[in-house]
Amino acid sequence: MSSLRNAVKRVEHKERAQPASRRKLGLLEKHKDYVLRARNYGKKRDRMQALKLKAAMKNPDEFYFAMHRKKTEGGVHVLDGAETLPHDVVQLLKTQDLGYVSTHRSADERKAAKLRESLHMLEAGPRNKHTIFFDSEKEAKEFDVAKHFDTVPELADRAFNRPRKDTLEKAQVTGATNRRQLKKVLKKRDASYSELMQRLERAEKMKKAEVHLEAQRKVMNSKGTKRKVQEAKDGRPAVYRWKKERSR
Amino acid sequence: MKGGAKVVVEPHRHEGVFIARGKEDALCTLNSSPGKAVYGEKLISVEAPPSEDGTTSKIEYRVWNPFRSKLAAAILGGVDGIHIVPGAKVLYLGAAAGTTVSHVADIVGPSGCVYAVEFAHRPGRDLINMAKSRTNVIPIIEDARHPLKYRMLVGMVDTVFADVAQPDQARIVALNSHYFLKNGGHCVISIKASCVDSTASPEAVFAQEVSKLKTENFKPKEQVTLEPYERDHAVVIALYRPPKKSKSKD
Ligand SMILES: C[S@@+](CC[C@H](N)C(=O)[O-])C[C@H]1O[C@@H](n2cnc3c(N)ncnc32)[C@H](O)[C@@H]1O
């Protein structure tokens, strides 16, 4: 019976794409994808099981040749190959670290400066002082921002641009004008500001790291007796003082 | 328009000045020599609204960095009037390499004129180069303390802008105004407190400069400090030889 059914060509059910209403969930997983995922899962599960089994079946008294070389010091297992690097090698590595950090700091600073050229912090609110001179006390008393600047009250506080009433009537905004485009544009602007902030922050952090590395390097390279006069604090490195010595 | 517009440009209170938003959030002016930047500033181009016959064109703006220009900082600081408008004639003292001058030239447009005075030769060269692509800029390499030397080049102006960073700036402005500024014209001066008196408090220095202007027949209108773009700087705007009170109506 079934073989007969197989002889007739059946409708091929194509897999659907993600319905439009669920688009935000991303691509819809197809059977093909499921198979890959399931195989991967199965493989990992089997491997875990095998390892667990091996661990459980381990003979604690088993001998390994590595045991000959291992030792403990005061009951603590010490690793071999962990001996300290020679002084001059460390010195070299430290200068390399310093070079790396300072290169990246200056790159960040340069990029931040470039961004800042066209990010003028308009919406941050005024931080300056604006003085207007009047002839009489009376004029000063009657001062009204919107009236003085010939603008609408809603824009009176917007120091970076208080368009005049006739500018508002005549001139128009160009470029993106509908709400959707506008939203997109503002999103881009916010992204630029966040990049600027991140770069400044990172440059600041690297500056700190640089100061520390520089201090370490100087201490390492120095000759003569030194004394610590101040502990490291507030993100600044410790301060040392060297004994004065005649150079010749 | 594919992909939609990437910027919004809103007109500013001061004619000829604009605010652009997009990847940038910036003050700008209309570029009077499209396609060319003067000092490496960013250019922003926008599709103009279609004209009656349906053709579209591009408008190009140049970003005006308030961290580099005192005038731009003052504009964003909210000054009432910069007195630099399309068609105005402006005497600009202390033009340096002409970065700000190029924006002033954009604002005044082809019917206006900027006389840019600078006495140092090195920035003066850049200024002259800039003036080659902006015909409304007249570069003058002279000391602003001796206006007689360039009186043949400069006519009457509507506004004197000064950013010479000299302790005797008020005197320099007065001297030039005496020769070139029309009655009822304005002066816009940028004061760097530490250049005038590095011991007094900035406020005291600004007040002192304002009173100096008063004795020179100027009537101060407003003063803005330039934070967060510059520290201890102010821009003062004053009216020259105010017309006698004739309008007793108001
Ligand atoms: C602070 S810079 C001006 C910057 C310029 N306004 C800008 O925003 O791009 C001051 C300039 O004034 C010039 N200067 C100083 N004293 C001057 C004088 N007596 N006559 C002409 N220029 C002078 C200096 O050479 C300097 O380039």
Find the mean pLDDT for residues A152-169: 88
* B114, amino acid identity: V
Contact B25 A118 (CB under 8 A): yes
Range of the structural domain that residue A127 is part of: 88-221
**Total domain count, chain A:** 1
In whole angstroms, what is the distance from residue B58 CA to residue A58 CA?
77
Find the mean pLDDT for residues B29-40: 91
* Interface check B19 vs A, CB under 8 A: yes
Distance of CA A65 to the CA centre of its chain: 47
B197: closest CA of chain A, how far (Å)? 20
Note whether residue B26 is domain-resident.
yes
- For the stretch B47-103, pLDDT in tens is 877 767 767 788 899 999 999 999 999 999 999 999 999 999 999 999 999 999 999
Note whether residue A60 is domain-resident.
no
Hey, whose CA ends up nearest to atom 4 of ligand 1? B96
- For the stretch A197-246, pLDDT in tens is 999 999 999 999 999 999 988 888 888 888 889 888 888 888 999 888 78
Taking contacts as CB-CB distances below 8 angstroms, the residues of chain A near B80 are 132, 148-149
Range of the structural domain that residue B17 is part of: 8-63
pLDDT recorded at residue B162? 95
Are residues B222 and B126 both part of a single domain? yes
**CATH at B125:** 3.40.50.150
Interface test with B, best of A145, A147, A161, A166 (most B CBs within 10 A): A161
Distance of CA B229 to the CA centre of its chain: 16
Are residues B217 and B114 both part of a single domain? yes
* CA of residue B165 to ligand 1 center, whole Å: 6
Closest residue on chain A to B231 (Cα): A128
Are residues B112 and B151 both part of a single domain? yes
Note whether residue A248 is domain-resident.
no
Q: Is A162 exposed, middle or buried (0-12, 13-18, 19+ CB in 10 A)?
A: buried
* B176, amino acid identity: N
pLDDT recorded at residue B2? 47
Predicted TM-score of the model (pTM): 0.78
Are residues B120 and B221 both part of a single domain? yes
Q: Is the CB of B176 under 6 A from ligand 1?
A: no
Are residues B54 and B88 both part of a single domain? no
Are residues B123 and B149 both part of a single domain? yes
pLDDT recorded at residue B4? 60
pLDDT at B248 over 60: no
Are residues B24 and B103 both part of a single domain? no
Find the mean pLDDT for residues B198-210: 92
User: Do residues B136 and B102 lie in contact, with contact meaning Cβ atoms separated by under 8 Å?
Assistant: no
Note whether residue B190 is domain-resident.
yes
Residue A43: phi and psi, rounded to 5, are -60, -45
Note whether residue A37 is domain-resident.
no
* Interface check B13 vs A, CB under 8 A: yes
pLDDT at B249 over 50: no
Are residues B35 and B111 both part of a single domain? no
pLDDT recorded at residue A190? 92
pLDDT at B175 over 60: yes
pLDDT recorded at residue A125? 79
pLDDT recorded at residue B250? 44
SS (H, E, C) chain A: CHHHHHHCCCCCCCCCCCCHHHHHHCCCCCHHHHHHHHHHHHHHHHHHHHHHHHHHCCCCCCCCCHHHHCEEECCEEECCCCCCCCHHHHHHHHHHHHHHHHHHHHHHHHHHHHHHHCECCHHHCCCCCEEECCCCHHHHHCCCHHHHCCCCHHHCCCCCCCCCHHHHHHCCCEECCCHHHHHHHHHHHHHHHHHHHHHHHHHHHHHHHHHHHHHHHHHHHCCCCEEEEECCECCECCEEEECCCCCC
**Total domain count, chain B:** 2
* A156, amino acid identity: A
Q: Is the CB of B81 under 6 A from ligand 1?
A: no
ipTM above 0.90? no
- In ligand 1, the atom with minimum distance to the C-alpha of B94 is 12
Q: Nearest by CB to A128, which of B41, B47, B77?
A: B77
Note whether residue B162 is domain-resident.
yes
Among B161, B168, B101, smallest CA distance to B136 is for: B101
